Amino acid sequence: MEVRAEKPDDVEAIFRVNVAAFGREGEANLVDQLRGVASTLSFVAVESEQIVGHVFFSPVAIAGDCADRLLVLGLAPVAVLPDYQRQGIGSLLIQYGLSECARLGFKAVVVLGSPDYYPRFGFVPAKQKGLGCEYSVPNEAFMVLELERGVLEGRAGMVKYRSEFNELE
C-alpha cells in the first residue's frame, strides 16, 4: 500500500473511487471542479497499481476576528473503494494528508463528518475553538485539528468552504 500525491494520470480513477464510495457523482464532480485551485491537496492510496482510496483538501475562509490570514484547509472528500474499506486505508490517507498539510505550512484543518471517526486523528469539535459551520449540522459533526498548537487561540468565526461545496446535498 502506497500513499502519494495525485498525478495527472490519476484523474479518472479518482473520479471512480469517489463515485463508488459515495454512490453518487457529487463528490467526484466537486474534486474535478476544485482540482488546480490554489492550496488544494490531493492524495491517493495505491494497491497493486490500482487506486483504491483518495483524500482531498481545499482552502476554507474564516469570517471573523483576525483570522483571515490563517491558512486553514477543509478535509473533504475522503473515499475508499467499498471492497477495501475497514482495512485502515482511510486512516492511512488521512494521516498522510494531515502530515503533508503540516509540512506545507497549513495551520489547521476542519472536517464535517462522523464524530465517531475523526477524533482518532486529533480532531475536536470546532465549537470548542470558537469556529462555526455555515451549514446546519450537529455541533459535534464539525471538527477542527490544529496543526500548530494554539494557533486558533483567540480566533473565532464562521468557517466558509469554497462555493463549489454548496452544490453538494
Ligand X SMILES: CC(C)(COP(=O)(O)OP(=O)(O)OC[C@H]1O[C@@H](n2cnc3c(N)ncnc32)[C@H](O)[C@@H]1OP(=O)(O)O)[C@@H](O)C(=O)NCCC(=O)NCCS
Total of chain residues touching ligand X, rule CB under 6 A: 18
Select from 72, 78, 98, 131 the one that contacts ligand X (CB under 6 A).
Answer: 78
21 binds ligand X (CB under 6 A): yes
- The window from 6-14, 76-84, 101-109, 149-157 that contacts ligand X (CB under 6 A) reads 76-84
- Across-strand partners of 65? 156
3-state SS, residue 61: strand
Fill in the per-residue mask, 26 to 65: x = in contact with ligand X (CB under 6 A), - = not in contact: ----------------------------------------
Number of neighbouring beta carbons within 10 Å of residue 90: 20
**Shortest spacing between CB 86 and ligand X, in angstroms:** 5
Rounded to 10 deg, the angle between the 26-34 and 11-22 helix axes is 150
Between 53 and 147, whose beta carbon lies closer to ligand X? Answer: 53
Fill in the per-residue mask, 91 to 130: x = in contact with ligand X (CB under 6 A), - = not in contact: x---------------------xx-xx-------------
In the complex, residue closest to ligand X by CB: 90
Between 52 and 131, whose beta carbon lies closer to ligand X? Answer: 52
What is the 3-state composition of the chain as percent helix, strand, coil, each rounded to the nearest 5? 35, 35, 35
* Cα–Cα nearest to 61, from 98, 105, 108: 108
Q: Which amino acid is at 109?
A: V
Between 78 and 108, whose beta carbon lies closer to ligand X? Answer: 78
Between 31 and 152, whose beta carbon lies closer to ligand X? Answer: 31
Instruction: Dump the DSSP string for 67-103.
Output: -TT--EEEEEEEEE-GGGTTSSHHHHHHHHHHHHHHH
**Shortest spacing between CB 151 and ligand X, in angstroms:** 24
Q: Is 57 within 8 Å of 40 (Cβ atoms)?
A: yes
Q: Is 43 within 8 Å of 6 (Cβ atoms)?
A: yes
- Interacting residues with ligand X (CB under 6 A): 21-22, 76-80, 85-91, 113-114, 116-117
